[in-house]
Amino acid sequence: SGEPDPRPEPRPVKPFNKDNKNVLYILVDDLRPELPGPFGQDYIYAPNIKKLASEGTAFVNAYCQQAVCSPSRMSFLSGRRPDHTKAFNFINHIRQADCGAPDVNLLYTGEILSNLTVLSRKGGSGQCCTSCTVHDACQAWSYNMKKSECLLLSSVTGRLPTPGYLSSYTGVYNTANWTTHPQHYYLSGYHTASSGKIFHTEEGGIGPAPWIGEGMPPNQDPPSWSPTGSMQEVNAVAPMWGCQDTNVGPVTNCQVDATVEGNVRNGDYPLCDKTIGDDAVHRLSMAMQNKDATGQPFFMAVGFRKPHLAFRFPAPWMQHYPNVSDIKIAAHPTLDPSVPPIASHNPCLQGPSPYVPMPTAEAQQLRQYYYTCVSWMDSQVGRVLDLLEQGGHDNDTLVVFHSDHGWSLGEHGSWEKFTEFETGTRVPLIIRAPWLRQAAGQVSHALVELVDIYPTTIDLTGVGPVPNETLDGVSLGPILRTPGSSVKNYSLSQYPRCPEDLGNVSNYWKN
């Protein structure tokens, strides 16, 4: 057919070493390091995260590489910076080819090899690029965004200005054979499993060539997990219902009529983190039983979705916070005129512009709901950690806890992520390695990055380096082995901007 399978042959799966440590990898969406214990905000009720920090090392100066879900996860799950993953958005992923920045509103003409129908949503151009790259005779492609058509060309004879087209030349397959963080454990003989959001959750895998799809690897990236090991179609299994989404009549806020355990009443839509928690408990139980029976170590990843919008939670968790009128808001709720406008991002929850403050009552309500979501999510983290202990594997399991990026709650006129401000890039990070007793209860002020997580776990568990690959991060193992030490004197975060009006610098916050 001239379209070889772009999936590389993986290296053989090694026999497992029963002496290697297990991994419990807990990821949280949109969690800023406004937490109790070593993070210093004891007004946040999160006893399970606080307990984990007291048993491990809390890194209070940890930073993501880009403050948005998919690029950040592509980075730390591959161990590479965004400059190398080439994933700066919700469209591209490492299993795709890289065709560079396409020409916008240009249709390439020439000899047509084929006319493909691709996705009409995210990732259509990436799918078109990859379909061309894996075709031996293809030299260029043009993607019709409105009709979801992909023209593959063997030669280019013209470039016609045509609205609605993206076009470029065949690309390169530099990243498709990378070994991801969980995949390295799988290939090292581990049982690898996942519940919830690990990779970003827009599922791909549709189209003429494998693994191209909607901009994300299908089903959380099949090469990363043991067969049937990952939760399939996370958005369908554990959807993030909006606060106005209900099947039991009108609602006006995010407080769901549910028990403190998250069991909804009256047949309302379930809470996504309860679904993920239930699935994680099942998969972790199976992994521990298998470990006990066979000696096979496990890598269990759990990705909780709150406090991501919408702030939907069981109503009883509100008891841990004061009345909304007593909630403090950001000290600087607008963007200072001295700050370059491109530092900000809109649209976001702020409203018309970062220079206009959100009404105080609305900001207080959002903060109260965000905090309550943190407490609700913490309860599910506790379920998983308690099960690990009950199963007798708390002492031979490395626990890593962090978020994908921070979240602004009105600081500098910014809400959500999407910025280079401290509130967007700084994340909570806790690592518990029980066999390193000197690391228990430590607080590290060293600069560290999420790109360091992959090399850290393979160091601490004894799995060893990835053959013939170079990761961008460094192991944080020396900090756990020698508290008070550091491994680098920098952290690097970045965020690309596409201003709507390039001719008006003062409006660069519109991007």
- Residues 490-510 pLDDT 10s: 999 999 988 888 889 999 999
pLDDT at position 378 is 98
> Residue 146: is its pLDDT beyond 90?
no
d(CA 404, CA 25): 12
User: Mean per-residue pLDDT for 254-281?
Assistant: 93
Per residue in 334-385, pLDDT (tens digit) is 999 999 999 999 877 888 899 999 999 999 999 999 999 999 999 999 999 9
Of 308 and 201, the structure prediction assigns the larger pLDDT to 308
User: Mean per-residue pLDDT for 75-98?
Assistant: 87
pLDDT at position 5 is 44
pLDDT at position 219 is 60
Which amino acid, one-letter code, is at 284?
L
Q: Is the peptide bond before 258 cis (omega within 30 degrees of 0)?
A: no
Of 32 and 134, the structure prediction assigns the larger pLDDT to 32
| E strand map for 9-98 | 22-28, 57-63
User: Mean per-residue pLDDT for 133-151?
Assistant: 91
When pLDDT is cut at 50, 70 and 90, the band that residue 250 belongs to is very low
pLDDT at position 216 is 52
When pLDDT is cut at 50, 70 and 90, the band that residue 217 belongs to is low
Of 242 and 358, the structure prediction assigns the larger pLDDT to 358
**256: CB partners within 8 A, 6+ apart:** 264, 268, 271, 312, 313, 314, 315
> Residue 232: is its pLDDT beyond 90?
no
> Residue 246: is its pLDDT beyond 90?
no
> Residue 92: is its pLDDT beyond 80?
no
Which amino acid, one-letter code, is at 176?
A
pLDDT at position 261 is 98
pLDDT at position 252 is 47
User: Mean per-residue pLDDT for 116-120?
Assistant: 71
Q: ∠9-14-17 over CA atoms, to 5°? A: 155
Sheet with 140-144: list strands edge to edge.
103-109, 158-169, 140-144, 149-153, 112-117
DSSP 8-state code for residue 137:
T
> Residue 90: is its pLDDT beyond 90?
no
Average confidence score pLDDT of the chain: 90
| Site of tokens 């606060």 | 243
Of 172 and 461, the structure prediction assigns the larger pLDDT to 461
Which amino acid, one-letter code, is at 119?
L
> Residue 176: is its pLDDT beyond 70?
yes
Identify the weakest region by mean pLDDT among 259-273, 321-335, 431-445. 259-273
SS3 386: helix
> Residue 425: is its pLDDT beyond 90?
yes
| E strand map for 250-296 | 255-256
Percentage above 90 pLDDT, the chain:
73
d(CA 476, CA 482): 10
SS3 168: strand
pLDDT at position 340 is 94
Identify the weakest region by mean pLDDT among 23-27, 95-99, 187-191. 95-99
